[in-house]
Structure 1
Amino acid sequence: MKMKWLKLGFVGFVVALLSVANVQAEQARPNILFIFGDDWGWGDLSCHGHPYVKTPNIDRLAEEGTDFHRFTVASGVCSPSRTAVVTGHFPARYNIDGHFAWVPTNEKRGMPDWLSLDAPFLPRMLTKGGYATAHYGKWHLSNNMIPDSPVPSEYGYDEYGAFNCAGEQMPVHEDADNAIAFIEKSHKAGKPFFINLWMHEPHTPFHTVPKYRWRFPDLEEADNIYASVLSHADDRIGEVLDALDRLGIADNTLVVFSSDNGPARAAKPTKPSLQHDTATGAGFGIGASKGITGGRKGYKSALFEGGIGVPFIVRWPGKVAAGKVDDVSLISAVDLLPTFCEVAGVALPASYRPDGVSQLAVLKGATAPKREKPLFWKFDSPWPAQQGKSDHWVSFAVVDQTWKLVANKDMGYVELYDIAADPYETNDQKEQHPEVVKQLLKKIDAWRKTLPVKPEGDVFSELRTR
């Protein structure tokens, strides 16, 4: 009998050891925090030389990590840009060429009413790999004006609080508190976590708080409003970073800061005035949009670098170099899904064909290899360009190796840039390199033939039948 109890005790001891080992293994897997600003211009950081905006917490990420200057998103506006992040695909593969609006507008533009639930999703892949996943902040892979659209949990997130989605709208300033609570919960459970912290700032309306407006008393009203909302967002980012420090998990957490597209600007001088948004409430309108691109051409909704070239700062102590600037490596938003999966040790599904590639080695300091896959953009821009929006005429763009070609909607007018040597797109070289123009136009045409003619599947609201 004594021997029997000794054997049972030994078995229990082994089970307990294995349980502890499993928890420790889970805790050793890196956490991922993806912070996505909304209309945050490349130049809207004090570490990027902004003349009056102060972003000490994001600056801290740059000091403790690597600042990549050649990152581009997959669109000049939010919904397609966000689609690329969660699917690893060009958004045109889902007929998502503009932002999700109310049903008649989506229908008129040949868009679905939400991103298909059948598309591949980053959170589902990470959940299968043992991660706790959450989304806090802006959604806009549907719209709050479409009540029957899927909510974030249907796409694979364990928990969420969001706005610009169906259902109750999370107050915009509660994003960091919710993220911190989820971090604490996941850490206590011994599970690695992935969190989207998709912030409202600095999208209109500008929801100002007196504390932050008082930080910039000498600025004119529009600049004061703009600086205050960025300062508020930076403080909330700091609260999340402090939570990682407090829990002792900062060294095991990959933190990425970026933006969905470049900064918005009014087409003509506009005074700040109050407006109301059905998802986020009242705040100041486009007259207070004072974002800058750091000299890049164009603004939000443009396919020039000012519209798609955004901040991309990566911190992962001991893995990603601290205090480094990488102004060479070309990284795209479609690379994020395969990169995050490799960070997490999660294999991509056998049937999945990403448009991007993992950039983990590049994040860790390796020289970027020759990019075999071209990058493509599609956006319905007016031609000729509208007054006050001289850089907003591009409907198609391709980047292949060092070349970037931009074209209008019928591809009858193009411009060609050596984007490696000329990131500000000042020297059009189509006359000097007609053979390159011809090759890139063929690549755009071949890519277009792979795209669906119209949305298909369960992606339409019942409001279309009314």
Structure 2
Amino acid sequence: MWKSTFWLVLAVLFSLPCRSVSAIDRGPEHPNVILVFIDDMGWTDLSCFDGQGPRTQHIDQLASEGIRFTQFYVNSPICSPSRVAISTGQYPQRWRITSYLNNRRSNRERGMAQWLDVKAPMLARELQRAGYATGHFGKWHMGGQRDVDNAPPITAYGFDQSLTNFEGMGAKLLPLTMQPGWEKPGRIWQKAVRLGEPVTWMQRSEITGGFVEAALKFIDQAQADKKPFYVNVWPDDVHAPFFPPLEKWKDGRRALYHGVLDALDEQLAALFNRIRNDEELRRQTLIVLCSDNGHDVGAGSSDPLRGGKTWLYEGGIRSPLITWGPGLLAKEKTGTVNEESVFCALDLNRSLYDICHVNVPKNAKLDGENLAETLLGHSKQSRQSPIFWRRPPDRPGFGHGYDEDNPDLAVRDGQWKFTVNYDGSSPQLYDLSEDAAETNNLVDANPKVADRLHKAIREWNSELPRDAGDQSSD
């Protein structure tokens, strides 16, 4: 039943008028880009990153034909600000999105915006202006959730088409839930219907496949129109609650998580195979795959890194990254691992402008650096500027799986990682080239390094709007 409804939704969705833009040359200078942004997946959950869970064979194949990066970072340990950073190329604190977007009252109490300002620079918008077909399929979570029902539609940010979940405005897929022993499925997030229609209800365990099907239809149309495309495929897997297919159901939180991860991998296969098996698309398409933040504690894994989702230790902010593109990547780098280059999602955003030969938006100061040659395997250059983080205001520590303080601020600069609280307490300095697990605090042994990084992070933070997490005095 849901399949017929789903295809009806797609028919309505793709009958909507697209922005009229002129097609541009489909040569390799304007490659297609697919960004797969997985939700709450740990640094070592994929088997190609030494994961101990299910064999993620389809993502593993992508990695075996591309490049894996082990020192890639996202710019927040929690979803909404991480998504803002990779979309805008700017620190999310600039736009007052520093934790997950919730209901209106909660957002105000935490000193946050209700949604991403449409004036923010958007990679999708600039690609759209340059003639790309742009589509977003999956979780949004940058505005339009809970009772925030007047946020801008996803299309206002530069997308021709969108299909989302319960945390975005517009057409959506909503989850039915099922587990062994139930006579009929349940429903969650029913109130999200108010955030836009048409709505398709489908099994939670199959929704990634629904987003993939919609993305493939969009890709087919772009190819028929001879237009390059930029597509977000942002599943809400592997985020809790966990409802894997019944045949993958096992007892225990981690086992359920592994069942969802296994199903995610299987459902992404159709997307990867569509591109891989079409000679034109294979030659002209770049696929980028990473996670929005670290693992949910007790479910995924980032071993041997310290911390997980919401934490400023490595397990919360370091993400697996895979780039794939036989017509774009250095051929001698196929199947290799880059363990040297240190960079972040801000740099990924900035680099895609260069890879797609599209101008950076005027009057927008991006925080990312152009590392296109690194992403494509022609260089191992790292980001030159430090990477800074601020903890989510609602995550001070001593909870969410760990009985310790969550540092308020963090910075990575070369081999060094420094964390500290707003009031200067609990300074920690780690040499990540020797201590990725952040176990040996070197503050006392390297006071000049600690002082330099402490000054840098205080200056960075002082230039940005505060949120409710900062209770320090001026």
| Residue identity matched to 1:251 | R
Residue-by-residue CA offset, 1:125-162 (whole Å, 9 max, x unaligned):
11112111100000000242111111211111000001
Root mean square deviation of aligned Cα: 2.1
Deviation at 1:368, TM superposition (A): 3.5
Aligned to 1:148: 150
Gaps of 5+ in 2: 1-21, 175-206, 469-474
- CA deviation map 1:242-289 (0-9, x unaligned): 111343312211011100001112xxxxxxxxxxxxxxxxxxxxxxx5
Aligned partner letter, 1:197: V
- Once the two structures are TM-superposed, the CA of residue 92 in structure 1 deviates from its matched residue by 1.1
Q: Give, in whole Å, the separation in 1 of the partners of 2:466 and 2:49.
A: 41
Query: Distance in 2 between the 1:358 and 1:408 partners?
Result: 31
Partner AA of 1:407 in structure 2: V
Q: Which moved more, 1:416-425 or 1:172-181?
A: 416-425
- Decide which of 360, 364, 367 is 1:355's aligned counterpart: 367
Aligned to 1:425: 438
Shift of 1:408: 2.0
Aligned residue runs from structure 1 range 304-343, under 5 A: 304-320=313-329, 321-343=333-355
Match of 2:319, SS? Answer: coil
Matched, 1:239 2:287: no
**Partner residue of 1:438?**
451
- Tell me the residue number matched to 1:75: 76
**Identical counterparts, % of pairs:** 32
Query: Where does 1:372-387 land on structure 2 (aligned, <5 Å)?
Result: 372-379=384-391, 380=393, 385-386=398-399
Deviation at 1:33, TM superposition (A): 0.5
- 1:369 and 1:227, CA in 2 relative to 1: closer, same or farther beyond 3 A? closer
Corresponding residue number in structure 2 for 1:166: 169
Letter in 2 for 1:62: A
Is 1:255 the equivalent of 2:253? no
In structure 2, the partner of 1:268 is none
- Give, in angstroms, the shift of residue 177 of structure 1: 0.4
TM-score, L = length of structure 1: 0.83
TM-score of the pair, normalised by structure 2: 0.81
Instruction: Please give the residue correspondences for 1:268-287 in structure 2 after superposition, counting only pairs within 5 Å.
Output: none
In the alignment, what sits opposite 1:177? 213
Contact 1:91–1:97 (Cα < 8 Å) also in 2: yes
Query: Retained in 1: the 8 A contact 2:122–2:158?
Result: yes
Higher mean Cα deviation, 253-262 or 348-357?
348-357
Contact 1:402 1:420 in 2 (8 A): yes
Q: Which residue of 1 aligns with 2:308?
A: 299
Contact 1:298/1:392 (8 A) holds in 2: no
Aligned to 1:128: 129
Output aligned runs, 1:385-400, within 5 Å.
Answer: 385-386=398-399, 388-390=401-403, 393-400=406-413
1:228 and 2:259 are equivalent in the alignment: yes
Structure 2 distance, partners of 1:384, 1:139, is 26
Q: Does 1:264 align with 2:276?
A: no
Cα deviations across residues 427-454 of structure 1 (Å, max 9, x unaligned)?
A: 2110101111111111111112211247
Report the alpha carbon displacement of residue 354 of structure 1 after superposing the two structures with TM.
1.1
Matches within 5 A, 1:444-459: 444-453=457-466
Q: Is the CA contact (8 Å cut-off) linking 1:127 and 1:156 kept in structure 2?
A: yes
Q: 1:411 aligns with which of 424, 429, 434?
A: 424
Q: Is the 8 A contact 1:88 1:338 kept in 2?
A: yes
Q: Which has the larger radius of gyration?
A: 1
Query: How far apart are the structure 2 equivalents of 1:315 and 1:391?
Result: 38
Count of matched residue pairs: 406
Whether contact under 8 Å (2:69, 2:338) holds in the other structure is: yes
**Per-residue deviation, 1:314:** 0.7
Where does residue 230 of structure 2 map in the other structure?
194
Match of 1:25 in 2: 25
CA distance in 2, matches of 1:117, 1:406: 32
- Rounded to whole Å, the distance in 1 between the matches of 2:451 and 2:278 is 56
Give the match's secondary structure for 1:204: coil
Q: Is the 8 A contact 1:57 1:237 kept in 2?
A: yes
Look up the equivalent residue of 1:261 and give its one-letter code.
N
In 2: Cα distance, 1:454 partner to 1:41 partner? 27
1:206 Cα offset (Å)? 1.7
User: Equivalents in 2 of 1:382, 1:408: separation in Å?
Assistant: 13
Counterpart amino acid of residue 222 in structure 1: R
8 Å contact kept, 1:70–1:331: yes
Structure 1 residues 352 and 27 mapped into 2: Cα distance closer, same or farther (>3 Å)?
Answer: same
Residues in 2 aligned to 1:170 and 1:340: alpha-carbon distance in whole angstroms: 29
3-state SS, counterpart of residue 250 of structure 1: helix
Give 3-state SS (helix, strand or coil) of 1:70's partner.
strand
Matched, 1:38 2:69: no
Q: Flag the 1:387–1:57 CA change in 2: closer, same or farther, 3 A.
A: closer
Deviation sequence 1:386-416 (CA, Å, 0-9, x none): 4951355111011122211111232222100
The answer for unaligned runs of 5 or more in structure 1 is: 1-21, 214-218, 266-288, 456-466
Confirm or deny: 8 A CA contact 1:381 1:394 kept in the other structure: no
Shift of the 311–383 alpha-carbon distance from structure 1 to 2, 3 Å rule, reads closer
CA displacement 1:16-64 (0-9 Å, x = unmatched): xxxxxx9783254211000000001111111122223121110011100
Is the alpha carbon distance of 1:370 and 1:250 closer, same or farther for their aligned partners in structure 2, counting shifts above 3 Å?
A: closer
Structure 1 runs (4+) deviating above 4 angstroms are: 381-384
